[in-house]
Copies of this chain bind each other. A is one copy, B any other.
Amino acid sequence: MTLAPLDASKVKITTTEHPSEPKPNDQLVFGRSFTDHMLTAEWTAANGWDVPEIKPYQNLSLDPSAYVFHYAFELFEGMKAYRTVDNKITMFRPDMNMKRMNKSARRICLPAFDSEELIALIAKLIQQDKRLIPEGKGYSLYIRPTMIGTTAGLGVSTPDRALLYVICSPVGPYYKTGFKAVRLEATDYATRAWPGGCGDKKLGANYAPCVLPQLQAASRGYQQNLWLFGPENNITEVGTMNAFFVFKNTETGKKELVTAPLDGTILEGVTRDSILTLAKERLDLNEWTISERYCTIGEVSERSKKGELVEAFGSGTAAIVSPIKEIGWKGEPINIPLLPGEQTGPLTKEVAQWINQIQYGEVEHGNWSRVITDLN
């Protein structure tokens, strides 16, 4: 018997009887309020994907023995839809998120699906609630595709039932009043990810264990952890973002943009990939080297002392970039320069602008912006 594929053309739409009013932009809190509708699609090992549904946002009703509650059969994606300056609704590189979501699913034996079908379904969901997508630079619709294993039973095995669902939250700029550079604690006592693990996948399992180290760092005045790995103390990620450093060789004057290589412990960030691509296209490669290489906290500390550490930032879907001003390491601060009177370094600021301009339709970049609907 052929298993049914995920099929956007079959979607069943039930609209809410109580449409909500858009919230004022200044009341938008990340991931706290949601649009009127959600998308769901059930899967069974016996039949494949059932008819997808767009329906009023509502609670999930699950057996208390469902795998998702016991064994972390769960994965998610984070992506955004934008209202562009020319009044279209677009998604930014959704194919990248769908590819990663399928990789996450395979890693924990949840079902794969055709990426373009889920993009089409998300587009229909967004279309349904398009009036709730906030207007203005920095505002967007955060989209949260999620998949959970719903088999009812306590044996640890491959789920034979799953639920794919998508919810959407209207969000404002991560930094409401411009950038705010953060202080990090370089963390060697807790480990986010390891070889042979699943730190490169967007699984729920990677998140809960990182909250206690974050609280511990916060108790010492740091906003986030700078995750280190291994005997060399390689820098891997910052909080839930990829990490970038900028060095300037004091002898040659040449600069290097560095981020960790995708060795299986690093989340394959869409923003990370976009930054690397744009940096290679737009920076003067006579002056710049763009590197995916291991970089230790020791190197960062030493090059800081030599005046060669010129910038650092995290990258992710929520904030695009998050400038870093200080790293605490073994009780000593490593200070990172910022532009005079600003909370960011020059490349960090430039990178944010590059991506912002593409996301809000001011600049085109290949097929990175996918038009969902033209409101003109």
State the A residues within 8 Å of B (CB): 30-32, 34, 38, 57-65, 67-74, 76, 106-109, 142, 144, 146, 148-149, 152-158, 165, 167, 169, 188-191, 194-198, 203-212, 215, 240
On whether A156 and B108 interact (CB within 8 A), knowing A74-B70, A191-B194, A191-B196, the answer reads: no
Inter-chain contacts of A67 with B (CB < 8 A): 208
How far in angstroms is the closest Cβ of chain B from A288? 33
How far in angstroms is the closest Cβ of chain B from A158? 6
How far in angstroms is the closest Cβ of chain B from A132? 16
Whether A156 lies near B194 (C-beta < 8 A) is no
A70 vs B207: C-alpha distance when bound (angstroms): 8
Complex partner residue of A198 from B76, B106, B209, CB under 8 angstroms: B209
Complex partner residue of A108 from B71, B73, B212, CB under 8 angstroms: B212
Whether B154 lies near A142 (C-beta < 8 A) is yes
A368 vs B98: C-alpha distance when bound (angstroms): 51
Inter-chain contacts of A152 with B (CB < 8 A): 32
A131 vs B265: C-alpha distance when bound (angstroms): 50
Whether B158 lies near A154 (C-beta < 8 A) is no
A152 vs B148: C-alpha distance when bound (angstroms): 16
How far in angstroms is the closest Cβ of chain B from A254? 35
- Of A38, A74, A144, A154, the most chain B CB neighbours within 10 A belong to A154
A212 vs B71: C-alpha distance when bound (angstroms): 13
Complex partner residue of A191 from B74, B106, B197, B212, CB under 8 angstroms: B197
Whether B61 lies near A61 (C-beta < 8 A) is yes
Copy tally for this chain in the complex stands at 2
How far in angstroms is the closest Cβ of chain B from A167? 5
Whether A215 lies near B59 (C-beta < 8 A) is no
How far in angstroms is the closest Cβ of chain B from A194? 4
Tell me the nearest residue of chain B to A201, going by C-beta.
Answer: B209
Inter-chain contacts of A69 with B (CB < 8 A): 60, 68, 74, 146, 148, 204
A195 vs B230: C-alpha distance when bound (angstroms): 10
Complex partner residue of A207 from B76, B156, B189, B215, CB under 8 angstroms: B156
Whether A205 lies near B209 (C-beta < 8 A) is yes
Whether A64 lies near B68 (C-beta < 8 A) is no
Whether B71 lies near A156 (C-beta < 8 A) is no
A65 vs B206: C-alpha distance when bound (angstroms): 17
Whether A144 lies near B70 (C-beta < 8 A) is yes
Tell me the nearest residue of chain B to A110, going by C-beta.
Answer: B208
Known: A30-B154, A59-B64, A108-B209. 8 other contacts (CB 8 A): A71-B207, A106-B212, A109-B211, A156-B240, A190-B196, A198-B209, A203-B209, A205-B206
Whether B64 lies near A60 (C-beta < 8 A) is yes
A74 vs B204: C-alpha distance when bound (angstroms): 10
A157 vs B196: C-alpha distance when bound (angstroms): 26
On whether A70 and B65 interact (CB within 8 A), knowing A153-B31, A197-B194, A208-B205, the answer reads: no
> Which 8 residue pairs of A and B lie closest in terms of their CB atoms, listed nearest first?
A31-B154, A191-B196, A72-B204, A71-B207, A205-B205, A194-B194, A72-B72, A108-B208
Q: List 6 A-B contacts (CB under 8 A).
A: A57-B64, A60-B63, A109-B208, A156-B211, A158-B215, A203-B209
On whether A144 and B149 interact (CB within 8 A), knowing A203-B209, A205-B204, the answer reads: no
Whether A155 lies near B60 (C-beta < 8 A) is no
A169 vs B73: C-alpha distance when bound (angstroms): 21
On whether A62 and B62 interact (CB within 8 A), knowing A71-B208, A144-B154, A146-B70, the answer reads: yes
